[in-house]
A and B are shown apart, each in its own frame.
Chain A
């Protein structure tokens, strides 16, 4: 893109070979993961890559040993609710920060943005103590609520909403629509790409989350997937082949989501950071 003249010169077989080798390096660990997931227990201790025979029964075995579906459902429910709430609260705030005129708006916006700099670790221990007081330890609510608000999400959606033409609000205002109606019927539908981007980010971040569920959840049935998978890699026992089967099952949906939504995601990253 930078220089057409040189581009054609360089886009030769050599470049493609380099790219394929790099891609293989990126994919290599995943290949090992999938191959190991088909090994037997003894083969898993052998450094050779290929299993002697592909043991498909490892996958049903995972479901027998740990409540994998339950863990997955926990992860999906928590991440889903967090995503829904965070996108909604962020959209509300972003609307106020981008489309409404009120005194002190921008000062408050930058203050709110500044909270992104606060290290989450500082709040960790008191938030946990609050959860103890409110009796929210070991509840889904305790996982969902603290993650339902996000300065980053507000910032991202504000950037999107700033790009929507003003004339649309004004036309709706002349038709007598309330601020809420404008938000709900005009701005929200038009911010769909932004909402989807934020939804992907939020969902991914919470699907992976490990720290908070680790300290909050006590009942095994309520563990999300990242915490639950650790059963295969604990002091009590190592089952590398089953662990890899479980990891494969938790990673493959992500890869599928990613392949379908990557265009959205890349646009979102660029709008969120470069224009900001």
Chain B
């Protein structure tokens, strides 16, 4: 009896400390959640149902949802959301790359003298440029020279800490201020990006025009070879995962589908030129067969624990845009000299239907490389047992092998965490960029689900549609998280 009373007492004390959170949870999570579910099935429109006109709400069943699903705009916005999420693999690669570079930088007093000499040379050089070009023309080179020299000396002195600080800076300040800043950077007439890009593109156009034959044959050929190499490499990896039982049929199937997708696009783009399409398909098929039939050389004891599946999915997703670009180069490369006959115009970035999304992804990448993800990778890298690398060195492993057989699989849990968080975040993302940089345009090309919900909920005032869309989003987040947790964190050993 006294035991039960003390149990009760302890529970009450425990809940007492939770009280503020419980109240907050009720008021700002549970009640809104229930209301949102309710609103999604009504025809609540702020123009008809407000405090001035108390028209009764009508239950409309699934009407809001059918309206959403039958409207092409909704699918367009959903597609935009997923398109922007394609930046995630690159952000992961960037963070990992930055972390790898940072761990290589060590504190070496001996390097200081060299850095000082180099920094002095850079400074003298930029001062000379300043004197020759004048403040207005060349001042910026002086500014960058000064900054670069300071960074170099600081980087050597602090053993790389200053680089980490500077990499993290864009993420730390990311918000309305930096989005406004990038909007100005992207301005096609007055922004610095196109200002810097124009001479580069002119030079490229001149080179292409000078040697049209080389480019019309070389570009498709080189892209084709690169694409086949990449695809083969990934196919072999998939095959190895299958053999090691590191991945189930679902993951391997998905990986293979991600490889075939660009091939399909290639055939579509090649369209009319039948013989070339057949040739490309034959080469691809041969590559796949070669890559998967011959079992890749098993490599050392360290590959026993293999990469988690979600890390593999991130990798496969990252290959798709790369392969697509290469496939486009194969399909259209022959026409390159004709296309640049009048020079290359720099893109209109945020004002162009096709470029607006890549522009936003590029900015997001800038902010994401040095983000929390990089910090997590740094921690993950320092947790890898050095013995693994020592064993690999004894087997004479190349740096690439060291990375793909030790670093990448060992970091799989971190990659998994980053991937899941990135997916949850990405599905809800894009509001601020759309609101500040593009207002969702041009022609809705940067309107994501979250911006759509904002527009419906707060500008047109159709709360029913907005809530229904929010619940579709909820379902997506839920299903994707569930899939991730079910399949994403599997390792060969556990």
Q: Which residues of A contact B (CB under 8 A)?
A: 1-8, 10-13, 15-33, 35-36, 44-50, 52, 88-90, 92-93, 95-96, 100-105, 108, 112, 115, 117-130, 145-146, 148-149, 154, 179, 183, 204, 207-208, 210-211, 214-215, 226-227, 229-230, 233, 240, 243-244, 247, 250-251, 254-255, 258-259, 262, 266, 269-270, 273-274
Q: A274 to chain B: closest CB distance in Å? A: 5
User: Which residues in A have their C-beta under 8 angstroms from that of B428?
Assistant: 119-121
Contact with A along B428-462 (1 / 0, CB 8 A): 10011001100000000000011001100110000
Can you sample 21 A-B contacts with CB below 8 Å? A26-B166, A26-B167, A26-B366, A31-B143, A44-B190, A48-B136, A92-B21, A93-B17, A93-B21, A115-B25, A122-B33, A124-B470, A125-B463, A127-B32, A130-B32, A229-B176, A240-B190, A247-B177, A247-B180, A269-B376, A270-B375
Shortest beta-carbon distance from A144 to chain B in Å: 12
A204 / chain B contacts, CB cutoff of 8 Å: 172
Taking CB as reference atom, which chain B residue is nearest A227?
B176
CB pair B481–A23 under 8 Å, yes or no, is: no
Contact B170 A26 (CB under 8 A): yes
Q: By the criterion CB–CB under 8 Å, are B474 and A100 in contact?
A: no
Question: Is B118 located at the chain interface by the 8 A CB criterion?
Answer: yes
Number of chain B residues whose Cβ lies closer than 8 Å to a Cβ of chain A:
117
Q: Shortest CB–CB separation between residue B12 and chain A, in angstroms?
A: 8
CA distance A147 to B300 in the complex (A): 52
Given contacts A13-B111, A24-B148, 12 further A-B contacts (CB under 8 A): A1-B382, A2-B381, A3-B386, A24-B144, A36-B184, A102-B14, A118-B33, A122-B36, A122-B474, A123-B36, A126-B39, A148-B24
| Other-chain contact of A16, B115, B165, B458 (Cβ < 8 Å) | B115
- The 0/1 profile, CB within 8 Å of A marked 1, for residues 17-49 of chain B is 111110011011101110110010000000000
In the complex, the answer to whether A18 meets B473 with C-beta atoms within 8 Å is no
Q: Taking the complex as formed, is B151 at the interface, i.e. its CB lies under 8 A from any CB of chain A?
A: yes
What's the Cα separation between A108 and B25 when bound, in Å? 12
What chain B residues lie within 8 Å of A36 (beta carbons)? Answer: 184
B380 touches A274 (CB 8 A): yes
Q: Give the top 8 A-B pairs by smallest Cβ distance, nearest first.
A: A149-B24, A208-B175, A126-B35, A47-B195, A102-B14, A96-B17, A226-B176, A126-B32
Residues on B with C-beta less than 8 A from A117 are 424, 477-478, 481
A250 CA to B176 CA, complexed, in Å: 10
B160 near A19: Cβ-Cβ < 8 Å: yes
Q: Are B140 and A254 within 8 A (Cβ)? A: no
- Report the Cα distance A270→B191, complex, angstroms: 38
Please report B residues at the A interface, Cβ cutoff 8 Å.
7, 10-11, 13-21, 24-25, 27-29, 31-33, 35-36, 39, 98, 101-106, 108, 111, 114-115, 118, 135-137, 139-140, 143-144, 147-148, 151-152, 155-156, 160, 162-163, 165-170, 172-178, 180-185, 189-192, 194-195, 366, 369-370, 372, 375-376, 379-384, 386, 389, 393, 407, 414, 417, 424, 427-428, 431-432, 435-436, 449-450, 453-454, 457-458, 463, 466-467, 470-471, 473-474, 477-478, 481
Query: Which secondary structure dominates chain B's binding surface?
Result: helix
Using Cβ atoms and an 8 Å threshold, which residues of chain A touch B28?
Answer: 123, 127, 145-146, 149
Least CB separation from A254: chain B residue: B173
Which residue of A44, A52, A122 contacts B470 across the interface (Cβ within 8 Å)?
Answer: A122
Is the CB–CB distance between B191 and A11 below 8 Å?
A: no
For B151, list chain A residues within 8 Å (CB). 19-20, 23-24
Check if A92 sits within 8 Å of B190, measured CB to CB. Answer: no
A121 touches B470 (CB 8 A): yes
- How far does the alpha carbon of A254 sit from the alpha carbon of B20 in the complex, in Å? 30
Most buried by A among B176, B182, B192, B431: B176
In the assembled complex, which residues on chain B have CB atoms less than 8 Å from the CB atom of A148? 20, 24
| B174 nearest CB across to chain A (Å) | 8
Cβ A19 vs Cβ B163 within 8 A: yes
- Decide: A47 and B190 in contact? CB cutoff 8 A: yes
CB-based contact A149/B21 at 8 Å: yes
Within the complex, the shortest CB–CB distance from B28 to chain A, in Å, comes to 5
- Which residues from chain B contact A3 at a C-beta distance below 8 Å? 386, 389, 393
| A48 CA to B478 CA, complexed, in Å | 48
When chains A and B are docked, how far (Å) is the Cα of A102 from the Cα of B16? 12
Q: Assess whether B139 is in contact with A49, with CB atoms less than 8 Å apart.
A: yes
Closest residue on chain A to residue B106 by CB atoms = A11
